[in-house]
Structure 1
Amino acid sequence: MAILLVDVWLGVLDRYVLHLQLAWVEELARYIMIWGIMLAVPCCTAAREHMGLRLVVDRLPLFPQQLLSIAIGVTSVGFFTLIAVTGIAFAEKGFQQFSTVFALPMFWAYLAIPVTFGLTAFQGLLVLALDVIALFESRHSDVKGAVS
C-alpha cells in the first residue's frame, strides 16, 4: 500500500507541478489496487468479516445456526473453487493481451482472480473445519451434560 500511496502522489505531483507526463503512474496504481483489493478477500474470509445478512440466522437456536453456517461454508468453498479454476483459463488468455504502457501481458493482472479465489477457498475450508469442530464440540457437551 505504501507503493500505491507514493505512486498516486507522484501522479498528482506530475500532473500539477512537474508536467513530465508520466504515463505509467496511473497504470501502476490500477494494478496495485487490483491486487490489493483482491488479496483482501481471503483475509476477510479468514476473519469472518465478509458482509452477510444475519437477520434470520441470529434468530435461530444454536444448532440450526451451526448447520446453516456449515451449509453456507460448503457452498462458499465450492463457489470460490469454481471461480479459481475458471480464473486460470481466463488468466491464460491474458498472455495474448498487453497492457498499454508497460506492454506486459495482462496475465499478471488477471492472475489475481485465480490466486485470490484459490486462497479464499483455502481460508473457507479452514473456517468450515472450525465450524464443524464447533458443531461436534457443542453436540458432545450437550450429550455429556444430559448424561450427568
Structure 2
Amino acid sequence: MSRTLDLAARLSHTLDQWVERCCVILLAVLVVTVWTGILARYVLPWNLTFTEEMARYLMIWVALLAISMGICRRQHVGMLVLFDRLPALLQRVLALSFDLIGIAFFAVMFFYSLTYVERGFSQSTMIFGVPKGYPYLILPIASGVACLQLALSALKDMKRTSPQPALERT
C-alpha cells in the first residue's frame, strides 16, 4: 500500500510540474499579447484586432489549468477555523468527503464539457475564424486534470497521520 501511495505522490508532483510549465508559457504569451495590443492601439500604427480575443482565451486557459495546481498543493480556498478544531478522525473523514465531492463535480464538468466542445466545432470565433471547439478544449482538459489531482491528493492524504492545514502543505 505504501508503494501505491508513494507512486500517487510522485505522479501528482510530476503532473503538477507539467501543468505549472504550461501555465507559465501561456501566461508569458498572454503578457506579450496584451502588451502587443496596447502598443498597437496607442503607440504603433498597427491594426491588430486579434490580441483582445487571444488574450481572453489565454486568460481562461491559464485560470482553468491553475485549478489543478491549487488542488495538488492544497492551496484552494477553504475555511480552516472550524476544520482545525475538529478531532483528527473527523478531519480525515471530512477531507475525504470534500475530495469525493470535488471529484464528482469535476467528473460531471468533464462529461458535459465534451458536448460543449463538440458543439463549439460548429461555431467560429469572431476574429480568428477558427472553430470555437479549440478554445473550449480547455474545459475537459482542466476538469480531467483536476479530477485526477483530487484523486491523487486524496491518496497522498491517506499517507499522512493527520490532515494538515492548506497553508502548511507542500
State TM-score, norm by structure 2: 0.76
Task: In structure 2, list runs of 5 or more residues that go unmatched.
Answer: 1-26, 163-170
2:76 to 35, 43, 50: 50
2:162 aligned with 1:131 = no
2:143 aligned with 1:111 = no
How far residue 11 of structure 1 moved from its aligned partner, in angstroms, is 0.6
Distance in 2 between residues matched to 1:100 and 1:83, nearest whole Å: 26
1:74 to 100, 116, 137: 100
CA RMSD of aligned residues (A): 1.3
Deviation per CA, 1:115-148, whole angstroms, max 9, x where unpaired? Answer: 10000000000011122333xx56xxxxxxxxxx
Q: Share of identical aligned residues, percent?
A: 35
Higher RCO structure, 1 or 2 (CA under 8 Å, sep 6+)? 2
2:60 aligned with 1:34 = yes
Select the structure of larger CA radius of gyration.
1
Moved over 3 A (4+): none
Distance in 1 between residues matched to 2:125 and 2:77, nearest whole Å: 33
Distance in 1 between residues matched to 2:51 and 2:98, nearest whole Å: 41
**Aligned counterparts, 1:68-107, within 5 A:** 68-107=94-133
Distance in 2 between residues matched to 1:19 and 1:120, nearest whole Å: 43
Distance in 2 between residues matched to 1:61 and 1:108, nearest whole Å: 47
Task: In structure 1, list runs of 5 or more residues that go unmatched.
Answer: 139-148
**Partner SS, residue 78 of structure 2:** coil
**Partner SS, residue 26 of structure 1:** helix
